[in-house]
């Protein structure tokens, strides 16, 4: 079984160390980690990361909590570099599925990293939504503690 390791964080120095040492096959971050890491300019941070890390995947998450704004943000994020995956939560904080958005972005060739998947039904829904022609990295799932901020509660935006 092949295992790939993806680092989750928002510390450029740490990311570069792991990248240069070949310890990971890609990176991912999210609004909570960026806030905790002191990132206040999302675009500038992302562009700095992408100036150094060009040949492994890097996932950047949308901040919006409504599907329409998620799409706008996702398209901007995807344009930052060829190695970018756009992290989309499986559902909004109101429980609205993002499967149709994932389907639309994927059909347009945007690489997606679907996150906050909690049930087997959600896994099936998202696997079905990803276009067969879109490069696949992984379908990530994580459990968030009840006190974790949601993307909508993070005070800075794209």
Give the active site residues.
87
User: pLDDT tens digits, residue range 23-79?
Assistant: 899 999 988 889 998 999 999 999 999 999 999 999 999 999 999 999 999 999 999
pLDDT category of residue 20 using cuts at 50, 70 and 90: very high
Q: Which of 82, 84, 51 is nearest to 73 (CA)?
A: 84
pLDDT tens, position by position, 112-144:
998 876 677 877 777 787 766 665 544 333 333
Strand locations in 43-153 (E): 57-61, 84-89, 112-115
Q: Check: CB of residue 28 under 8 Å from CB of residue 113.
A: yes
The pairing of strands 57-61 and 26-28 is parallel
| pLDDT higher than threshold 70 for residue 9 | yes
Question: What pLDDT is stored for residue 141 in this prediction?
Answer: 36
pLDDT for 84-111, tens place per residue?
Answer: 999 999 899 999 999 999 999 999 999 9
Q: Give the pLDDT confidence score for residue 148 in this predicted structure.
A: 36
């Amino acid at each position: 079984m092949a295992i790939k390791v993806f680092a989750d964080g928002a510390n450029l120095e740490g990311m570069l160390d792991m990248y240069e040492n070949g310890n990971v096959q890609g990176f991912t971050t999210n609004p909570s980690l960026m806030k905790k890491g002191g990132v206040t300019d999302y675009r500038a941070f992302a562009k700095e990361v992408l100036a150094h890390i060009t040949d492994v995947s890097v996932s950047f998450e949308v901040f919006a909590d409504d599907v329409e704004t998620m799409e706008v943000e996702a398209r901007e994020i995807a344009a930052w570099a060829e190695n970018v995956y756009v992290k989309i939560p499986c559902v909004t904080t109101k429980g609205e599925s993002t499967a149709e958005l994932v389907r639309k972005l994927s059909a347009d060739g945007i690489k997606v990293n679907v996150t906050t998947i909690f049930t087997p039904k959600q896994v099936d829904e998202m696997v079905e939504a990803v276009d067969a022609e879109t490069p696949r990295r992984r379908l990530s799932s994580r459990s968030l503690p009840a006190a974790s901020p949601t993307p909508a509660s993070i005070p800075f935006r794209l």
